[in-house]
Amino acid sequence: SHDMMGIHPYSGLEDPYSLYPHSLRNIDELCASIVRSHRETSQYRVEELQALRWKLFSREEIQTYQSKSVDEMWQHCAIRLTDAVQFVVEFAKHIPGFRMLSQNDQIALLKTGSMEVVLVRMSRFFNTENNTVFFDGKFAGTEVFKSLACGDLIAAVFDFAHGMCALKLTEQQIALFSALVLINADRPCLEDRGKVQRVQRSVELGLTHILHRDNQESLMHKLYQRMAVLRSLCSLHMEKLRWFSQRYPLTAHSLFPPLYKELFA
């Protein structure tokens, strides 16, 4: 079933140097490939999203979302989320170091980290002026998600996006931070924790390097704080998913995208 994610085992010989980027040149190369991978998998460029900001859902359209049944709206959002997760899987696959991990460890990292990266990415799709997120082609406020019946999760997710936007990260900083969220040696069920730790250190080095270059070293501490918030958001997501699956087992079982079930169920 892992084939679904399109992860193929690699020989581990493709990037013999990237695990140990001791020289500045290697750190630069690591940063450059993470940034490239982020750019190629981020769906929309920041300028494109900026240009779409005027597109808001009308009162009638909001009402249409609000009149959906709980399971209909969950299924709809699960599909949207899974699309976003698919791009995160693509992002991960192009991070040197990530693809040198065993297939099981790649999956373990994606299971816990992909949703967190989606939430980090959400800040790019968020307009703090009116608290809306780009969803289904237009900008949507929390009221659009009312029929999910998990207002606390939605409020917390919007809050998080707001807080991320306040940090005013550059695309490069977002890329490195996303990689660090994903490659975390503290995740459960890792086979080769030592190897994950080495990759994690190299990504940490990369992030430190660009923050230093941008003269924004003080951001590091704030980013580690955001990681703690991310963890709590994702356990809230899992809690809601369990609640939903208990109430609507048929929808959760047969209508949710396979990748969503594989990663979160």
- Minimum CB–partner distance for residue 189 and ligand CLR (Å): 23
- Integer Cα distance of 158 and 198 in angstroms: 33
- Minimum CB–partner distance for residue 125 and ligand CLR (Å): 4
CA angle 156, 204, 183 (to 5 degrees): 60
Q: How many CB atoms lie within 10 A of CB 230?
A: 19
Number of residues counted as binding ligand CLR (CB under 6 A): 23
Among residues 200 and 260, whose Cβ is nearest to ligand CLR? 260
Q: Is 65 in the site for ligand CLR (CB under 6 A)?
A: no
Among residues 38 and 99, whose Cβ is nearest to ligand CLR? 38
Which residue, chain included where needed, has tokens 């709980």? 70
- Minimum CB–partner distance for residue 41 and ligand CLR (Å): 9
Q: Is 169 in the site for ligand CLR (CB under 6 A)?
A: no
End-to-end CA distance of the chain: 14
Torsion of CA 147, 152, 154, 159, to 10 degrees: 150
Q: Is 196 in the site for ligand CLR (CB under 6 A)?
A: no
Q: Considering only 63-71, 131-139, 163-171, 249-257, which stretch makes contact with ligand CLR by CB under 6 A?
A: 131-139
Work out which of 57, 74, 91, 177 binds ligand CLR, going by CB under 6 A. Answer: 74
Q: Is 148 in the site for ligand CLR (CB under 6 A)?
A: yes
Q: Considering only 49-57, 59-67, 74-82, 96-104, which stretch makes contact with ligand CLR by CB under 6 A?
A: 74-82
Q: Which of 60, 33, 79, 28 has the alpha carbon at shortest distance from 175?
A: 33
Q: Considering only 73-81, 106-114, 192-200, 211-219, which stretch makes contact with ligand CLR by CB under 6 A?
A: 73-81
Site track 79-118 with ligand CLR (rule: CB under 6 A), x = hit: -xx--x--x------------------------------x
Q: Is 144 in the site for ligand CLR (CB under 6 A)?
A: no
3-state secondary structure 161-206: HHHHHHCCCCHHHHHHHHHHHHCCCCCCCCCCHHHHHHHHHHHHHH
